[in-house]
Structure 1
Amino acid sequence: MSRFFKGSDSESDSSSSDSEVNVPRPGASAARPVAYAFSDNEDEPKRIVRSAKDKRFDELTEIIKKMGNHKKIKDMSSVLTDFEELGKAYEKSKKVIEKEKQIPRFFLRCLVELEDFVSECWEDREGRKQMSKNNAKGLTTLRQKLKKYNRDFESEITSYRENPDEEEEEVVMDSEAEESEEESREDFMKSKTREESKPSKRVTYDDDDDDDDIDWEMSSDSSSSESDGGEGGGTTVYTAAMFLKKQPGEEKKDKKDKKEKRVRRKAEEDEGGEWEEVTKGAPMVKEAPKMFAKDTEVNHEAVIKKLNEIISARGKKGTDRNEQIALLTELQSISNANNLGPAISMKIMFNIVAAIYDYNPNIATCMRSEMWEKCLKGVSELLDMVEANPDINIGENILEESENVTTSPYRIRGCILTVVERMDEEFTKMLQACDAHSTEYVDRLKDEKDVCTVLDRLQTYLVPRGTTEEICRVYLRRIEHLYYKFDPEAYDNPQLENQSFKDMEEMCKYIYAKDLTDRLRTRSMLCQIYHQALHDRWYQARDLMLMSHLQDTIQHSDVPTQILYNRTMVQLGLCAFRKGMIRDAHNALVDIQSGGRAKELLAQGLLLQRQHERTPEQEKIEKRRLLPYHMHINLELLECVYLVSAMLIEVPYMAAHEMDARRRMISKNFHHVMRMSERQALTGPPESMREHVVAASKAMKTGNWKECKNYIINEKMNAKVWELFYKSETVQEMVTSKIQEESLRTYLFTYSSVYDSLSLETLADMFEIDQGIVHSIISKMIINEELMASLDEPTRTVVMHRTEPTRLQSLALQLSEKVSSLVDNNERIMELKQGNLFFQKSGNMQDRQDRFQSNYQQNRNQNWQDRRNQRQNYSQRTY
């Protein structure tokens, strides 16, 4: 039957049931789940697909954020942990960064900020003292690791510091891209939720409705759903236009609209003020507020009031020191523009220089180079003002209430000498902080000429009008810049009156006569001795040192004066060596070299201490005492001179007292070096300076002077040591002649028992010395009773007297002494074992010792008497 046939109700029911569209009723459960249906549960997590770059960069950002929180509370151990995690996360992100071919700017910003934060914490000495042990340890470790880690990013960090504004552009672009992605994602999710949350249009009708009505309603629903774009139907219809890319102009317009919305949204969220958009490029510099109001009259009172206002902020926390210097400079220019007089300008200049000195709050560190240039320029300008205005009375004893800056004669509180002394100290600190082998050190050292010029001008100003104390202080400053400088003209012509020697002598004499403190007198005397010894004026330097008696009282002086004393003694020893005074040179250098702390005693570096560690405060104090590199004395030259002097003295003495078990050591350091060489199983050719001296000493023991000379003077030793002397050829000739003479003495001590007589001519040919020198050497040895011999003038021979014991006799005497001591010890042990009291046999032991001592004394007296008789018989036979 046709479905459109209008029949009875039953027929219509049956026909409708045959062709009925199955529409689920409300509350009825579906027989089968609909495929691709969206879930109604909003609590399920939304899956977001993220790239590897986003994952890695988000991980880095989280670590940086956590590090920032730890930096705020200065939890240095946690900051160290965060830094290590950041390094590991960066290693994981290396593949992503290599694809990008650029290190992220936020990572570089983190490294730069962390470096500044660590340096700020390290310079804050008081803050470090208050840190806990873990935080202090974490700060030290973090500083070392960060310094090492940042070497790999040195060029990137430098470029970032030069132009940190690039990061803002990148951050804005990244944030725009992220927000556009988020907004598109939100639009999509909103449309999806609307589809799911909107109730679907279900067809409900009564039994008496027509089929036509049903068909019309369904067709209208489907058409409406298609026209709505998926908003009203149960299924979403996507068109091709939804996936097309927008035109470039439309995309930029959308981004601009979103950016404006974002700015408005932030402005609405902010309660307290308005937001303004940051423009690209360098920040706009706002005009500084004017020094004085528009209608204010600029006079002395207003300027002084403003000056006191600026100075009152000095030393307070949060004071910008750069701004303070700028304000004082501007105030001085305003004062000069209004012609307020030289006194007020000079007063402001004093405060400008003081503000420059205050710029660096840490006294242990030096100025920056730009601040040093400002300081030098400011002190020069101050001296110009002082010299140009003699009517201005300057003194540190003038009270501020009694100052007069309006009318002449002017009175100002200040001390130009203190300003110049502080400048000199800052110059020394800058040289200490520079690397001695860098061009920066050379550039800073060039400023010494300007510093000396300032000192000369200060001396010219103070001598007519200063007190004796001020003149002594400025004289000492000049002496300390002069005493260590070598003048070749004064060395070559010691008879001429050199200007440096004249100035040094005049200034030292004034200090000796006028100084009321021992410190200035002591330092000036040591400087004069050093200067004399540097130019080989040995006798003047030696006499001045002996007359001063400083060696008796120097231990009571301050540490810098003791360091100057050590330097002076070393220079005296080098001068004595150059002059051929070997024993004097050894005596001057033995105290410095015996302890192995020459570097520390001369303030040329710090040594590691095994017994106890220095505290950070002690280390800073000792580093502050170190001398600049251009004032150093070469330590290898010093050690070589000492060991060569010890060799020339000790080797002949060892040969003369070879059988004497109780011989004393002249040089313990030399014996230590010799012992260390003898302990070596295999001895190769000498390489270092010490090994050369040891090899030369072994050659001298056998009288082989040529081999000894070749070990001491050769190309290797010349480059290391001897060429450091001025006119090194003269020094080498002197060393060669001393080696010949001492080798002759050693030969005579060693082999005198073998010969009956020796020809002077043979000895002169063997050691290549003049016969007169050989004759004088042997005569001295005979007079000093070092050699038992006599000179036969007609035959030009040395006749040996066999009064000395032979080697066998000497060994026998040593053996008898050791056996007697061993017997005594055994007797004491036996007496203690048997329980007898020691005093029972002490009388017998004492008698035995007395008899041995008397016999030994009688034999010794008899030997001396025999020698004297032989000498008298020989003299009677000769004359």
Structure 2
Amino acid sequence: MSRFFKGSDSESESSSGEDEIVTTRSAAPTKVFQFSDDEEETKRVVRSEKDKRYDDLKNIIKDLKNKKKIKDLSNVLTEFESLLKAYDKAKKVVEKEGIPRFYIRTLVELEDFVTECWEDREGRKKLNKSHAKSLTTLRQKLKKYARDFESEMESYRKDPDEGDIEDDFDAVNDVAESESEDEAPSTFLKKDKPAKPARAVDDDDEDEWSQSESDSEEDEDAPTDYTNMAAYFLKEKTSDDKKETKAQKKLKRQLVKKDADKDEDEGEWEEVTGKGGVPMVVEKPKMFPKDTEVNHEAVCKKLYEITAARGKKGTDRQEQIELLKELYSIAEANKLGYAMSVKITFNITAAIYDYNPNIATCMKSDMWDICVDGVKTLLGMLKEHSDITVGANITEDTESLEKSPFLVRGCILTVVERMCEEYTKMLQACDAHSTEYVERLRDDVKVCAIVDELVNYLEGRATSEEICRAYLRKVECCYYKTNQCTEADMDVLCKFIYTNDSTDRLRTRAILCQIYHHALHDRWFQARDLMLMSHLQDNSHHSDVPTQILYNRTMVQLGLCSFRQGMTKDAHNALVDIQSGGRAKELLAQGLLLQRQHERTPEQEKIEKRRLLPYHMHINLELLECVYLVSAMLMEIPYMAAHEMDARRRMISKNFHHVLRMSERQTLTGPPESMREHIVAASRAMKTGDWKACKNFIINEKMNTKVWELFQDDRNKVCDMIVSKIQEESLRTYLFTYSSVYDTLSLVTLADMFELDVYKVHSIISKMVINEELMASLDEPTQTVIMHRTEPTRLQALALQLSEKVGNLVENNERILEIKQGNFFFNKSGNQQNQQQGGGYQGNQQNWNKSSQNRRNQRQHRAY
């Protein structure tokens, strides 16, 4: 029998222990071998609770990664929920061993995946309903679940490679085991002769059996006591087989080299040994070869080599910064002079600015701190050593780094301007209502101090153009702050720019900043005169977008200033352009409005987001709208009362009329709640001359909290001004509305009704009489107002409106009739005369207009 097959013990075993084959012609063929569960000698492996739970987590993570690759969001959500359940089961192991590193890595990668899918708006629109719903649910659950692992995830993001060595070894071991399992059959299976199945034989098959017996005798190594086929083919572990595979050795060498690179001691050797591993020594690479003379030429050459990789694909920006810092230390150690230190510092600052390749994102906090310290150090060195001249016009060939006077290529003004831009982007990226924004805002003092040092350094050294840029940077840092810069300082800086600037942009921005500063400090007449003399209203739409935004902010601040001074008409005129379109938030660069997809592309949206101003520079939009509506109310309500029966009256404020119409459409009007509802209710009260109700709607606790307290120191002054304006305009509205009812009115009675001084009432009525708004006269001895009754009554006014509309209808019908009859261009008689006078059509048109006017006058006379 072949050595691969044996019969069962019941058929072949004898008392002597020799193998015998018993066959008969009539007996059925018997099975030579049988495998059952009882006969298999499988080796059971006892696994610990830690391995069992961790393997469950790793299997789920593997499935989760596969689902992420194909962006199957529904299954990603399912696998994430399974992962959470498996982690709950492994709570005891986690409490004992700590949170596994691979679990934190999975959460970080999943969070990045969800963020990427959520920010991809075009991709989200293409998702079906189930995937979109799964993405929203996954984002909410992950955000809530990740709060318990904030510190671990943050530490992992800072150093992703830390703690991954154990996971890498596990992965390699899995690969090694799979390789060993694949190699086992090919190593131990005999390929010369395939195994033949055993069968029952008769006397004629003796030759075949003898041949098989001879084969079995030739193979002396075949075991004689095995009963399990699988146990025979399995590879047994020997001392040679326990050696590590090539993949394990390669990974160990890589990990050891990585640890050696991180070693702080230069030139230190480390011996690495392991199972089957070869000791290795790793030395940190040096900046200069051994026995190299470190001089200015060598350092400049090395600096050029480092900076040559700037901006290239695959360049490690962090490593580039570290190399420049190390080169700076070497230059300081070899005492190459402060000119060389300045040159290297310029390159370090440029490398920090290039650390973030995406211009739309802001700089990291740690890099920002390094940047501020570097710029401050650079300015300090330049101010300390006056014999160093820096400039962008200095080429590398003309640099002088060894002998005084030193010439260094670089522009400190550009460095500071870039720092200010990065600071603005950092504030834009922060949540305005978080503590992070407050922490970042504290750096404003450092930025302003650096700008002041820059101005002091450039004065007397730089050109007038560079000084103008530095002055404008200082102006832009303080123009929106209360009492941060005095009027005299602002005037000196701006006048220098007006005189020496060769570009219109710097001069325009300086003018706008100075107007804004005047208006912020209630210097209304200076701000107004400067705005009128500069003629910026005519040329503002030709400026760049940031300048247009600054112009809008200046006009708004000018309107608020005029309102605080009691000039409501000027306030309305200054704010009408911003408020009329309903886009104040966007025009002031304080946010983006929700628009349809075709109105703004993703690229345009990114550009507009970069233009947004930091939160601490915003102007309160609710305060702005309230000031505009109150100014419009004080102008519009008296005008509406005076021209109630005039069908052709114009609207002073379309936005105010829109608010009134929206309120009138409501079927049920309750007590006012919002700011707009308070103003609408106040307008209705003013129409009837009830100034007290109007005042209570405008000045109350709710309105004070929302609006008027934002004026801070001027709050009481502004409230008193509003009350006096309401009294005056309510008096005017009362006279316009009820003048036709009275024959005479007493000034004393009017003064008591509106709680005004008699002289104030006399002044208001006198102005109305002079402007022909009120047809009346004043009787000084009796202190009364005598009405002349030249205005038509309400019935007469309605009759005039009706006759006007009927006349227009008749004229239109007559014109249509003339066109149909073909006599529109020529009269029935006198065609030659009309042609000679005006050329046919023009002469007939003039005659038609005259006759229409005559008929209109006759109808009005009959109506009277």
Query: So what's the TM-score if we normalise by structure 2?
Result: 0.78
Q: Confirm whether residue 818 of structure 1 aligns to residue 805 of structure 2.
A: yes
Instruction: Tell me the residue number matched to 1:839.
Output: 824
Aligned equivalents of 1:812 and 1:259: distance in 2?
119
Q: Give the conservation status (yes or no) of the 8 Å contact 2:29–2:200.
A: no
Q: Aligned-pair distance for 1:486?
A: 1.0
In 2 relative to 1, CA 796–173 (structure 1 residues): closer, same or farther, beyond 3 Å?
same
Given candidates 565, 574, 578, the residue that maps to 1:579 is 565
Q: Give the conservation status (yes or no) of the 8 Å contact 1:343–1:412.
A: yes
Q: Confirm whether residue 452 of structure 1 aligns to residue 448 of structure 2.
A: yes
Instruction: Tell me the residue number matched to 1:396.
Output: 392
RMSD: 4.8
Q: Give the conservation status (yes or no) of the 8 Å contact 2:61–2:106.
A: no
CA offset digits 1:236-273 (Å, max 9, x no partner):
9x9xxxxxxxxxxxxxxxxxx97986762513x78x96
Of 345-354 and 851-860, deviating more is 851-860
Instruction: Tell me the residue number matched to 2:367.
Output: 371
The alignment partner of 1:758 has SS state of strand
Q: Confirm whether residue 588 of structure 1 aligns to residue 565 of structure 2.
A: no
Task: Give the alignment of 1:268-287 within 5 angstroms.
Answer: 285-286=262-263, 287=266
Instruction: Tell me the residue number matched to 2:78.
Output: 88
The alignment partner of 2:821 has SS state of coil
Corresponding letter in the other structure for 2:853 = Q
Q: Confirm whether residue 553 of structure 1 aligns to residue 539 of structure 2.
A: yes
Q: Confirm whether residue 37 of structure 1 aligns to residue 16 of structure 2.
A: no
Q: Confirm whether residue 773 of structure 1 aligns to residue 760 of structure 2.
A: yes
Q: Aligned-pair distance for 1:384?
A: 0.9
Task: Give the alignment of 1:37-186 within 5 angstroms.
Answer: 37-38=34-35, 60=60, 63-64=63-64, 66=66, 70=69, 78=70, 80-81=71-72, 83-92=73-82, 96-101=86-91, 106=102, 108-116=104-112, 147-154=139-146, 155-156=148-149, 158-159=151-152, 162=155, 169=166
CA offset digits 1:817-845 (Å, max 9, x no partner):
1122223344456677xx63352897899
Q: Quick one: percent identity of the two aligned structures? A: 61
Instruction: Tell me the residue number matched to 1:788.
Output: 775
Q: Confirm whether residue 680 of structure 1 aligns to residue 666 of structure 2.
A: yes
Q: Give the conservation status (yes or no) of the 8 Å contact 1:398–1:412.
A: yes
Q: Confirm whether residue 805 of structure 1 aligns to residue 831 of structure 2.
A: no
Instruction: Tell me the residue number matched to 1:631.
Output: 617
Instruction: Tell me the residue number matched to 1:655.
Output: 641
Q: Confirm whether residue 338 of structure 1 aligns to residue 334 of structure 2.
A: yes
Q: Confirm whether residue 435 of structure 1 aligns to residue 431 of structure 2.
A: yes
Instruction: Tell me the residue number matched to 1:9.
Output: none
Instruction: Tell me the residue number matched to 2:704.
Output: 718
In 2 relative to 1, CA 121–767 (structure 1 residues): closer, same or farther, beyond 3 Å?
closer
Q: Give the conservation status (yes or no) of the 8 Å contact 1:64–1:110.
A: no
Instruction: Tell me the residue number matched to 1:358.
Output: 354
Aligned equivalents of 1:176 and 1:355: distance in 2?
41
Instruction: Tell me the residue number matched to 1:408.
Output: 404
Aligned equivalents of 1:391 and 1:845: distance in 2?
86
In 2 relative to 1, CA 711–233 (structure 1 residues): closer, same or farther, beyond 3 Å?
closer
Instruction: Tell me the residue number matched to 2:730.
Output: 743
In 2 relative to 1, CA 234–327 (structure 1 residues): closer, same or farther, beyond 3 Å?
closer
Q: Give the conservation status (yes or no) of the 8 Å contact 2:25–2:202.
A: no
Q: Give the conservation status (yes or no) of the 8 Å contact 2:632–2:653.
A: yes
Corresponding letter in the other structure for 1:63 = D
Q: Give the conservation status (yes or no) of the 8 Å contact 2:30–2:200.
A: no
Q: Give the conservation status (yes or no) of the 8 Å contact 2:64–2:80.
A: no
CA offset digits 1:670-703 (Å, max 9, x no partner):
0000011111111111110000000000000000
The alignment partner of 2:644 has SS state of coil
The alignment partner of 1:394 has SS state of strand
Q: Confirm whether residue 645 of structure 1 aligns to residue 641 of structure 2.
A: no
CA offset digits 1:130-172 (Å, max 9, x no partner):
x99979x999999977654531441347525646766765786
Corresponding letter in the other structure for 2:304 = N
CA offset digits 1:37-64 (Å, max 9, x no partner):
3289xxxxx9999999899768635535
Q: Confirm whether residue 482 of structure 1 aligns to residue 472 of structure 2.
A: no
Q: Give the conservation status (yes or no) of the 8 Å contact 1:266–1:275.
A: no
The alignment partner of 1:363 has SS state of coil
| Residue ranges of structure 1 left out of the alignment (5+ in a row) | 1-20, 41-45, 71-77, 206-229, 239-256, 489-498, 865-879
In 2 relative to 1, CA 371–120 (structure 1 residues): closer, same or farther, beyond 3 Å?
farther
Aligned equivalents of 2:759 and 2:686: distance in 1?
22
Q: Give the conservation status (yes or no) of the 8 Å contact 1:512–1:521.
A: yes
The alignment partner of 1:466 has SS state of coil
Corresponding letter in the other structure for 2:510 = S
Aligned equivalents of 2:228 and 2:387: distance in 1?
102
Identify which of structures 1 and 2 has the higher relative contact order when contacts are C-alpha pairs closer than 8 Å and 6+ apart: 2
Q: Confirm whether residue 505 of structure 1 aligns to residue 502 of structure 2.
A: no
Q: Confirm whether residue 385 of structure 1 aligns to residue 381 of structure 2.
A: yes
Q: Aligned-pair distance for 1:34?
A: 7.7
Aligned equivalents of 1:445 and 1:142: distance in 2?
38
| Residue ranges of structure 2 left out of the alignment (5+ in a row) | 1-17, 38-42, 204-222, 267-283, 829-843
Aligned equivalents of 2:847 and 2:747: distance in 1?
50
Q: Give the conservation status (yes or no) of the 8 Å contact 1:417–1:474.
A: yes
Task: Give the alignment of 1:247-258 within 5 angstroms.
Answer: none
Task: Give the alignment of 1:492-531 within 5 angstroms.
Answer: 500-531=486-517
In 2 relative to 1, CA 343–788 (structure 1 residues): closer, same or farther, beyond 3 Å?
same
Aligned equivalents of 2:153 and 2:237: distance in 1?
30
In 2 relative to 1, CA 261–750 (structure 1 residues): closer, same or farther, beyond 3 Å?
farther
Q: Confirm whether residue 327 of structure 1 aligns to residue 312 of structure 2.
A: no
Between Structure 1 and Structure 2, whose CA radius of gyration is higher? Answer: 1
CA offset digits 1:684-739 (Å, max 9, x no partner):
11110000000000000000000000000000000000001132011000000000
Q: Give the conservation status (yes or no) of the 8 Å contact 1:329–1:352.
A: yes
User: How many corresponding residue pairs?
Assistant: 766
In 2 relative to 1, CA 680–323 (structure 1 residues): closer, same or farther, beyond 3 Å?
same
Q: Aligned-pair distance for 1:278?
A: 6.7
CA offset digits 1:110-137 (Å, max 9, x no partner):
44335557879999x9xx99x99979x9
Q: Aligned-pair distance for 1:500?
A: 1.5
Instruction: Tell me the residue number matched to 2:6.
Output: none
In 2 relative to 1, CA 746–264 (structure 1 residues): closer, same or farther, beyond 3 Å?
same
Q: Give the conservation status (yes or no) of the 8 Å contact 2:296–2:402.
A: yes
CA offset digits 1:426-481 (Å, max 9, x no partner):
11111111111111111111111111111111111111111100110000000001
Q: Give the conservation status (yes or no) of the 8 Å contact 1:511–1:524.
A: yes
Q: Give the conservation status (yes or no) of the 8 Å contact 1:23–1:203.
A: no
Corresponding letter in the other structure for 1:150 = L
Corresponding letter in the other structure for 1:814 = Q
Q: Aligned-pair distance for 1:848?
A: 7.8
Instruction: Tell me the residue number matched to 2:744.
Output: 757
Q: Confirm whether residue 695 of structure 1 aligns to residue 681 of structure 2.
A: yes
Instruction: Tell me the residue number matched to 1:496.
Output: none
Aligned equivalents of 1:235 and 1:357: distance in 2?
70
Corresponding letter in the other structure for 2:672 = P
